[in-house]
């Protein structure tokens, strides 16, 4: 399978939890007791559908073709107040940063952010009470018990939003994949055509004193992406979980640096205004194409109120200073 088909960040699943087991209406009988009282046990709980975080996963490919998840029903109660067996839970392991939603209403149910964290997506039905619960002074031998509660059937959406310290924001061919390949061990596909990157790529960037941070290469944005053009908003949601946004503009852009920065900023604002609250850093890439005089002229075009730096991933110039800026922004 290709890299693109291996990355799955959205699945829609029908989840059916187990029915609760019926309570027992048993009356105690043995060779010494002919007319004993009620001793029917409770029914077992129906199985839950549970979502569990797994830090080793980065995609939901294993869930792509699993459209129906059915948990086991609980067992019926028995004699001697014995409780029925609980139904087996169905556990769906997901990458960290996964959000669960109700597919019909769009309501966000919960988010998984920690390794081993578990949340119940669809709860199983409760087991019915056995007849021993209903014994009283006026009704000493109840011959009835509760049926088990029905399980639920819901259509749910699991949606991954990549968790990273730094998210790379820029138009196609801005040099995002090249930067990630130079400063980390990630090996994204690199070529000179639009939308080379079709999936987010993550890399761990080594910093001073054995420190590190996670960088995410988000597929290229184009003007109108927030309205569905190009790759649309398919990958814009991954930017929501990044701590710092690194805007990347190539030195050979046909626009001014400020114009290109404002277009990128507008696309993010149209998608989610809350992104405007995130710390931002600007890197002008492909600085190896500039001489000192031209670089000084372009510095006058830089947008105000944002830390900016000229870098060259090919010649590895300015990368240490860029890491310093990013580390400062992450820990601000």
pLDDT in tens, 168-195: 988 887 888 889 888 887 665 544 444 4
**Mean pLDDT score of the chain:** 86
Q: Say whether pLDDT at 270 is over 90.
A: no
Residue 230, pLDDT above cutoff 60: no
Question: The pTM is what?
Answer: 0.72
Residue 109 backbone phi and psi in degrees, to 5: -90, -45
pLDDT band of 324, cuts 50, 70, 90: very high
Between CA 278 and CA 243 the distance in angstroms is 7
Which pair of tokens denotes residue 299? 């510095």
Highest-pLDDT range among 55-64, 183-192, 222-231: 55-64
- Comparing CA positions, the residue from 139, 145, 94, 97 lying closest to residue 121 is 94
* Look-up of token digits 């130079």: 182
- Of the chain, the end-to-end C-alpha distance in Å amounts to 41
Six-digit token pair at 185? Answer: 């061990």
Q: Please tell me the distance from the alpha carbon of residue 267 to that of residue 276, in angstroms, as a whole number.
A: 11
Of 272 and 188, more confident: 272
Confidence of residue 34 (pLDDT cuts 50, 70, 90): confident
Q: In terms of DSSP bridges, do strands 49-53 and 280-285 run parallel, antiparallel, or are they unpaired?
A: unpaired
> What is the structure's pLDDT at 5?
52
Question: Which of residues 219 and 193 earns the better pLDDT score?
Answer: 219
Q: What is the DSSP letter of 286?
A: -
Q: Is the pLDDT of residue 1 over 50?
A: no
d(CA 325, CA 202): 19
pLDDT band, very low/low/confident/very high, at 224 (cuts 50, 70, 90) = low
Structure-model confidence comparison of residues 161 and 19, the more confident one: 19
Q: CA-to-CA distance for 113 and 155, rounded, in angstroms?
A: 22
Residue by residue, what is the 3-state secondary structure of 297-332?
HHHCCCCCCCCEEECECCCCECHHHHHHHHHHHHCC
Please give the residue that has the higher pLDDT: either 200 or 278: 278
In whole angstroms, what is the distance from residue 136 CA to residue 21 CA? 24
pLDDT at position 2 over 60: no
| Nearest-angstrom CA–CA distance, 173 and 260 | 13
Does pLDDT of 269 surpass 90?
no
């Amino acid at each position: 399978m290709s890299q693109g088909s291996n990355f799955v960040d959205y699945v829609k699943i029908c989840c059916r939890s187990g029915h609760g087991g019926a309570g027992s209406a048993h009356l105690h009988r043995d060779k010494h007791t002919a007319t004993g009282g009620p001793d029917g046990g409770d029914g077992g709980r129906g199985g839950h559908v549970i979502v569990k975080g797994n830090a080793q996963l980065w995609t939901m490919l294993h869930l792509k073709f699993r459209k129906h998840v059915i948990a086991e029903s609980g067992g019926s109660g028995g004699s001697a107040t014995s409780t029925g067996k609980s139904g087996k839970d169905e556990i769906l392991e997901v990458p960290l940063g996964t959000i669960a939603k109700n597919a019909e209403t769009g309501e966000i149910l919960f988010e998984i952010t920690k390794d081993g964290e578990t949340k119940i997506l669809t709860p199983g039905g409760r087991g019915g009470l056995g007849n021993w619960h209903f014994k009283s002074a006026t009704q000493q031998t109840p011959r009835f018990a509760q049926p088990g509660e029905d399980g639920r059937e819901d259509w749910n959406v699991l949606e991954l939003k990549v968790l990273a310290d730094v998210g790379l924001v820029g138009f196609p061919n801005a040099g995002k994949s090249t930067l990630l390949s130079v400063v980390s061990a990630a090996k994204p596909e690199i070529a000179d055509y639009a939308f080379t990157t079709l999936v987010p790529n993550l890399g761990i960037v080594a910093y001073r004193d054995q420190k590190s941070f996670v960088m995410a290469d988000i597929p290229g944005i184009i003007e109108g992406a927030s309205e569905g053009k190009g790759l649309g908003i398919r990958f814009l949601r991954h930017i929501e979980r990044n701590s710092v946004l690194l805007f990347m503009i190539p030195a050979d852009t046909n626009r001014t640096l400020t114009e290109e920065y404002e277009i990128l900023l507008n696309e993010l604002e149209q998608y989610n205004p809350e992104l405007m609250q995130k710390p931002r850093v600007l890197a002008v890439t492909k600085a190896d194409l500039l001489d000192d005089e031209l670089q000084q002229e372009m510095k006058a075009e830089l947008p105000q109120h944002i830390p900016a730096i000229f870098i060259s991933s090919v010649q590895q110039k300015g990368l240490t200073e860029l890491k310093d800026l990013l580390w400062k922004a992450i820990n601000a």
